[in-house]
Amino acid sequence: MSERNVDPMAAALFTYSLRLGDDALILAQRLSEWASRAPEIEEDIALTNIALDLLGQARALLDYAGSVEAAGRGEDDLAYLRTERDFRNVHLVEQENGDFAHTIARQLFFSTYQLFLYEELISSRDEMLAGVAAKGVKEAAYHHDHALQWSVRLGDGTEESRQRMQAAVDRLWPFTAELFDTDEVEAALVSQGIAIDPSTLRPRWDRSIGDVFATATLTTPPTIWTSHGGRRGVHTECFGFLLAEMQYLHRLHPGVSW
């Protein structure tokens, strides 16, 4: 946010909208990489449908962030012209697709979080955030169901599918803690009834994921280390490559439209 704008509440709202919007945008970008590459055509369409749902959420949130910032930046400027350190998404959503099990594990972890977040955010005193949540909660509910169905089938499936699903859960587990990080941005907005303190979603998330693991005969990994920094703009190695692909066209042809 530009320094001439000194309203701390507007600055917090800008950052909060970016965090939610960037989570949706970057996961949409990852999921869209499955187009034409999914295990079967039905799943190809399912994953890209989910990507488009998330992209719609991202557009609304980034457009709102731009209007809160009031510096003339629109959704395209924020999506295509920021550099790596200015993105505020969690590390989980930028992790590479891996095999189908990795994508499903990432979907399970994120959609469970986003579903619970949107369910709470519906009652935000910020009308725009409440509106995004009200529309997004139905989408998130389907994304969650999709991930849950596949998690159970892969986990409680063949020996190979179970091994792959467990490997995916183990690989991505360290990235789940960051979903529940909270700092002064959320704190300022929570006190105004605008934002949700993500740490309050953790107990419900733990129970829900635990239930899925039990049904899918998967083992909850031990927490050896956790990854943090995305909310402050510090990202993992794979993120720069994602941005290069996502932003290439817009940077080559500034202002290009369909």
Partner 1 sequence: MNPSASSDSGSLWEVFVRSRRGLSHVHVGSLHAADAALALRNARDVYTRRGEGVSIWVVPSRSILASSPDEKDAFFDPAVDKVYRHPTFYELPEEVQQM
Q: By the criterion CB under 8 A, which residues form the site for partner 1?
A: 39-43, 45-46, 49, 142, 145-146, 149, 153, 156-158
Q: Which residue lies nearer to partner 1 by CB, 77 or 156? A: 156
> Look-up: residue for tokens 């991505």?
172
Q: In the bound complex, what is the minimum distance in angstroms from residue 101's beta carbon to partner 1? A: 15
Q: In the bound complex, what is the minimum distance in angstroms from residue 95's beta carbon to partner 1? A: 23
Q: Which residue lies nearer to partner 1 by CB, 98 or 157? A: 157
Q: Which residue lies nearer to partner 1 by CB, 3 or 40? A: 40
Q: How far is CA 221 from CA 18, 55, 174, 218, in A?
A: 30, 31, 9, 9
Q: Which residue lies nearer to partner 1 by CB, 40 or 237? A: 40
Q: In the bound complex, what is the minimum distance in angstroms from residue 142's beta carbon to partner 1? A: 8
Task: Output the CA angle 114-130-83, nearest 5 degrees.
Answer: 60
Secondary structure of residue 220 in the 3-state scheme: coil
Q: In the bound complex, what is the minimum distance in angstroms from residue 76's beta carbon to partner 1? A: 25
CA atoms within 13 Å, Cβ hemisphere of 9:
8
Of 57, 197, 215, nearest to 140 (Cα)?
57
Q: In the bound complex, what is the minimum distance in angstroms from residue 62's beta carbon to partner 1? A: 24
Q: Which residue lies nearer to partner 1 by CB, 149 or 220? A: 149
Task: Output the CA angle 250-251-254, nearest 5 degrees.
Answer: 65
Of 248, 243, 245, nearest to 233 (Cα)?
243
Residues 34 and 46: their CA atoms lie apart, in Å, by 10
> Look-up: residue for tokens 């986990």?
155
> What would you report as the CA-atom Rg of the chain, rounded to the nearest whole angstrom?
18
Q: In the bound complex, what is the minimum distance in angstroms from residue 158's beta carbon to partner 1? A: 8
Instruction: List for the chain the helix, strand, coil content (%; round to 5).
Output: 70, 0, 30
Q: In the bound complex, what is the minimum distance in angstroms from residue 46's beta carbon to partner 1? A: 4
Q: Which residue lies nearer to partner 1 by CB, 53 or 63? A: 53
Residue 16: phi and psi, rounded to 5, are -65, -45
Q: Which residue lies nearer to partner 1 by CB, 17 or 112? A: 112
